[in-house]
Homo-oligomer: A and B are copies of this chain.
């Protein structure tokens, strides 16, 4: 028997990542978009009037007619997805969590707060325990704030998680990032025709800090970051979606290349099946010229990370390329996955997943 789905609100609903939330939640088995929140300029308009839709096709009909609310309006959805700009996110996300909402945020503002889990279900589901710490310390009962990482960090931590057991000593990362990572209008076409940019504002720092937190261990009270040295260079290339990272890594152990590939291919997260999770989150591509953004970003409906070109690195030992869809797996899709994990783990008050089929 079909039960009432959980109402969700999207903060920053008219932006590029907000649009992805709406697209990905279309037909979601547990959640339904009931409130869309935009800038004061958009508030009061219908969503279809307010949005300049930049994804394929048009906004889903059911959403197009919703009236956009302002960020300081009241909203009633128990679950809130945040695609806010950094400044707007900083205090508002905490206010909403304090008011009892479960906030799954894609914003960078609060990611590095000590009691906010920076979570990917397949990488560090156990960090969800930090929610108990968060609620205790902050006096929140039903509210919570969970963040996911920067979109460029995503393929790195996905690919490295199965290698943590070998001891990750040093990491050298050079990214080739898609333009959708900068939102819309984002990067000028004058910069992206017959050109690349050797710099992406802010992302190199995030690569170096967020990867250590994500691969760290929850000690019952806080996260012990992974002790490793990270050097990141971030560049922008003329690709719509899909961040590729050239990764070199020094491992304490010396596994055979074939063992590393086997680790990737067998990897499954120690969590229940979640509706948005691919069966296997990683795929290894054996063709020498893969992964490629356009051809591989949609693997697993945009939720798989594709890896290729594993070989010896004369400097650090191992090198390979990893690719994730940056606005699906690397942004909206990951927040949704986090919300699904929160639901399964019983962190969303009044919502029992047991009433639903777990399935794709």
Known A-B contacts A172-B315, A176-B176, A194-B293; the reply to A246 vs B230 at CB < 8 A is no
- The tally of residues in A whose CB lies under 8 Å from a CB in B reads 62
Give CA–CA (A303, B28) in the complex, Å.
25
Whether A108 sits at the interface, judged by CB under 8 Å, is: no
Residues of B within 8 A of A237 (CB): 176, 196, 237-238
Knowing A57-B299, A188-B188, A233-B246, the reply to whether A197 touches B240 (Cβ < 8 A) is: no
Q: Kindly report how many copies of this chain are found in the complex they form together.
A: 4
Taking a contact as CB atoms under 8 Å apart, the answer to whether B193 and A240 are in contact is yes
Interface residues of A in 200-214 (CB under 8 A from B): 208
Chain B: CB-nearest residue to A230: B314
> A77 an interface residue at 8 Å Cβ cutoff?
no
Is residue A25 within 8 Å, beta carbon to beta carbon, of the partner chain?
Answer: no
On whether A233 and B189 interact (CB within 8 A), knowing A56-B294, A198-B246, A299-B57, the answer reads no
A319 interface contact, C-beta 8 A: yes
C-alpha gap A179/B194 in the complex (Å): 10
Set of chain B residues within 8 Å of A166, measured between Cβ atoms: none
Contact A238 B308 (CB under 8 A): no
Which residues of chain B are near A332, meaning CB under 8 Å? Answer: none
Knowing A172-B248, A208-B314, A289-B197, the reply to whether A56 touches B190 (Cβ < 8 A) is no
A171 at the interface (CB under 8 A from B): yes
Whether A295 pairs with B186 at a CB distance below 8 angstroms is no
Interface membership of A195, Cβ < 8 A: yes
Give the residues in chain B near A170, CB-CB below 8 Å.
315
Residues of B within 8 Å of A24, CB to CB, are: none
Other than the known A55-B295, A189-B189, A195-B239, what 19 A-B pairs have Cβ atoms closer than 8 Å? A16-B190, A174-B246, A186-B189, A191-B292, A193-B193, A193-B238, A193-B294, A194-B194, A195-B293, A198-B292, A198-B309, A199-B289, A229-B314, A230-B315, A231-B316, A233-B309, A237-B237, A240-B294, A315-B316
